[in-house]
Chain A
Amino acid sequence: MATKDNATFTLRLLAANREVYNGRAICLIIPATDHGEVGILAHHEDMIVAVESGEMDYQTPDEKWHHFAVSRGTVQVANNRVTALVLTAETPEEIDERRAEEAKARALEAMRQKQSINEYNRTQASLARALSRLKVKEKQFM
Chain B
Amino acid sequence: MSTMREIRERIGSIGDTMKITNAMYLISSTKLRKARESLENTEPYFLALQMQIERIMRHLPEGFTHPYLDTRLHTDEANRKRAFIVVSADKGLAGAYNHNVLKLAESKMRENRNAEDKLFIVGESGRQYFSAKGCQIDEQFHYTAQNPTLHRSRMIVERMMTLYGNKEIDELHIIYTRMVNSLTMQAECRQLLPLYTLNSRMVVGADHSGIPLEEFEMRPSPESVIENLIPNYMTGFIYGALVESFCSEQNSRMMAMDAANKNGAKMKQELTLQYNRARQARITQEITEVVAGARAQQQRSDR
Contact = CB atoms under 8 A, between A and B. Distances in A.
Nearest to A78: B214
Contacts of A74: 52, 225, 228-229
Interface string A62-85: 000000000011101010000101
Interface in B5-58: 38, 41-42, 44-46, 48-49, 52, 55-56
B118 to A, nearest CB: 17
Interface stretch (A48-56, A91-99, A101-109, A133-141): A48-56
B214 A47 contact: no
A116 to B, nearest CB: 11
B216 A47 contact: yes
B219 interface: yes
Given A47-B217, A50-B220, A85-B232, A14 B225 contact: no
A68 to B, nearest CB: 15
Nearest to A18: B41
Nearest to B47: A14
A50 B217 contact: no
Contacts of A15: 45
A87 B150 CA distance: 9
B228 A46 contact: no
A14 B224 contact: no
Nearest to B55: A76
Nearest to A87: B232
Contact of A14 (B48, B55, B154, B162): B48
Contact of B44 (A14, A46, A48): A14
B150 A17 contact: yes
Interface in B211-247: 214-220, 224-225, 227-229, 232, 235-236
A119 to B, nearest CB: 12
A20 to B, nearest CB: 10
Nearest to A83: B48
A73 B48 contact: no
Contacts of B41: 17-18
A88 B46 CA distance: 13
A38 interface: yes
Interface in B187-228: 214-220, 224-225, 227-228
A18 B37 CA distance: 11
Contacts of B220: 32-34, 50
A46 B217 contact: yes
A89 to B, nearest CB: 10
Interface residues on A, range: 20 to 34
B38 A17 contact: yes
Most A Cβ at <10 Å: residue of B56, B215, B228, B232:
B228
A18 B49 CA distance: 13
A90 to B, nearest CB: 13
A85 B219 contact: no
Contact of B219 (A12, A16, A19, A38): A38
Given A14-B45, A19-B44, A85 B52 contact: yes
Nearest to B56: A48
Contacts of A83: 48, 52
A34 B219 contact: yes
A85 B214 contact: no
Most B Cβ at <10 Å: residue of A32, A46, A51, A87:
A87
Given A16-B150, A85-B48, A87-B154, A50 B228 contact: yes
Contacts of A78: 214, 216
Contacts of B55: 76
Nearest to A34: B220
The 7 closest A-B pairs by CB, nearest first: A34-B220, A47-B217, A50-B224, A50-B228, A49-B219, A14-B45, A50-B225
Given A48-B217, A78-B214, A85-B45, 16 more contacts: A12-B48, A15-B45, A16-B45, A16-B46, A17-B150, A18-B41, A32-B219, A45-B217, A49-B225, A50-B219, A50-B220, A83-B52, A85-B232, A87-B154, A87-B232, A87-B235
Interface of B: 38, 41-42, 44-46, 48-49, 52, 55-56, 150, 154, 162, 214-220, 224-225, 227-229, 232, 235-236
